[in-house]
Structures are given as C-alpha cells and as structure tokens.
Amino acid sequence: MAHQAGFVSIIGKPNAGKSTLMNALVGEKMSIITPKAQTTRHRILGIVNDENYQIVFSDTPGVIKPHYALHESMMHQVDGSIVDADLILLVTDIYEEYDEADVLKKLERSSAPLAVLINKIDQSDEETVKKKVEFWQEKLNPKAIFAISALHGHNIKAIMDFVIENLPEHAAYYEKDALTDRNDRFFASEMIREQVFKQYKKEIPYSTEVIVTAFIEGEKLYRISAEIIVERESQKNIIIGKGGEMLKITGTYARRAMEDFFQQKVFLEMFVKVIPDWRTKKNYLKQFGYE
C-alpha cells in the first residue's frame, strides 16, 4: 500500500471550536483554548504519524474582517492554509446564524475536498442539528458533513477515518517523530498568552503579545524569561495589578501549564513592556513572528 500524506486545514469563524478540534484530532495540546474569540493568532501545525500515513493538520485564526495590521497577518495565514490544503475541514457550530459569507468567500479559492463539521451538538437538540445538516448540504454540497462535539470527542474517529480515506499518496512531509512545526519557545509564549486571555477582561488580551526572551534548558530546570507587550501604560498597570498580584497569578498558572507540557520544572520570570499601537505597526509584527 502506498504511503499517504497531506495537509488538512481547519477553517471557520472565531470561537467555533477549531483549536479544541485540532487538539482532539492530534491527541496533544497544540493550540491554546479560551472562551474568548480570536485566541488563535498563528497558523499552527499538528502532525499525526502512522506507518502508512502522515496527516498535517493546520489550526488557523478565526476568519474576521481585519481592523489592524495584526488582523491582516492573521487572515494571510488563513489564506495560505487554504491554498496549501489537500483537504479542508470547515468548522461551524449549532449557534451559527448562517452568516458565514466571509469564510465561504475564502473557500472559493480552493478546489480541495471539503467536509463541514457542525460542532457543539452536545449543547443542542436533534431537530436543530438536522436543520443545520440540511442547510450545509444544500449550500455547499460538501464531500461529508459531521455533527460533532470536539470538547467531548464525539465523532472524532469518524473525522479521522474520513481524512485518511481522502489523503493523497505522498511521501511524508516531516520527520515521522515530529508533532508540530513550532518550537518550545513558541509554546511557552502561547501558554502565557492563554493565561492573559483567561485572567484579564475586555481589550487587554487583544492588546497583548508575549515574547520569550530567554529559554535555557537545564538538566533539572528550564529557565524561561518573557516580555508581555501592551500598547498603553494603563494596560501595563492592569497586567501587573496591585502590588504585582495579577502578574504573579498569571505567571503561576502559565508556569504550571509549562511544567505539564514540558514535563520539567520551570523557573519563569515575566516583565511588562509598553510598545504604543504595536498591532498597527508592520515592523513590530514582523519582529513578533507575524508574516
């Protein structure tokens, strides 16, 4: 039997459950997950390896109308993943009000086989799910439609079987022991950013970037230094909190997540830095890893 390999892009609007799905499919926590929309900013690859196949899943930012240069970079990453895709998984959910025009416009550029995944069915009833299936069948006539709960793992195996069936014949794109294209520094910064999204409200998480400035792997301890970038002095004060309390809480949860992820003791130090309007400045975005 010939070896199969391909790129599978997970596309959809913010908060549809794309990152939860990716983690369920890969079996590892690759993407950070928070209840807030637009948590994912980078295209992240999660790789599933078998003797006979290699699936390269691509979690992407939720499709939005760009308001900043940062948003434009995020949407370029979505476009890139659609162009590369051998197979596309369109994630929608039972709350969707049939206003997926932005997403569908992007999908027009692809001739890759498409599956529609209707997520969060654990929060719905049979009749609602049935109506969603009928809508998408008529709207897109996709190769398959799955009613799923990414959070509870419902129908994940059926999606995997579908993906494997539709993978092209190809040699592996990555080493067979690779899990992702991202390095440990990236995951460390994402774990801090995840806590910023969880601990702070309103605009703060969206005005924040995290840069890992040092990552030293000792035999018994990882020493990690990071800067939390904000746009205004007032935001810096909020991030730090009274007597440094909020920064300490954020750091504690981030460190625990890192220790779990790296299976190693972690010493984490964090600093807060103001760069006015960094989201609109392409030189900073490039420096922070946005294309």
Alpha-carbon span 122 to 192, nearest angstrom:
30
pLDDT band at residue 38 using 50, 70 and 90 as cut-offs:
confident
More confident position, 271 or 182: 271
pLDDT exceeds 90 at position 96: no
pTM value is 0.86
Cα–chain center distance at 39 = 7
pLDDT at 186: 92
Is residue 23 annotated as involved in ligand binding? no
pLDDT single digits (tens) 98-155: 777 888 888 888 889 999 999 999 999 999 999 999 999 998 899 999 999 998 989 9
CATH architecture of 182-286: 2-Layer Sandwich (3.30)
Q: Is 16 annotated as belonging to a binding site?
A: yes
> Residue 13, annotated ligand binder?
yes
Say which residues have a Cβ less than 8 Å from residue 283's Cβ, sequence separation at least 6.
none
Confidence of residue 80 (pLDDT cuts 50, 70, 90): confident
**Mean pLDDT in the chain?**
91
In angstroms, rounded to a whole number, what is the distance separating the alpha carbons of residues 92 and 64?
14
CATH class belonging to 2-164 = alpha beta
Q: For residue 269, what pLDDT is reported?
A: 97
Residues 22 and 40 sit within 8 Å (Cβ to Cβ): no
15 assigned binding-site residue? yes
Please check if 120 is assigned to a binding site.
yes
In the sheet that holds 209-217, the strands lie side by side as 209-217, 221-230, 265-274
61 is known to lie in a ligand binding site: yes
Q: Sorting pLDDT into bands at 50, 70 and 90, what band is 88?
A: very high
The pLDDT of residue 62 is above 90: no
Domain ranges of the chain: 2-164, 182-286
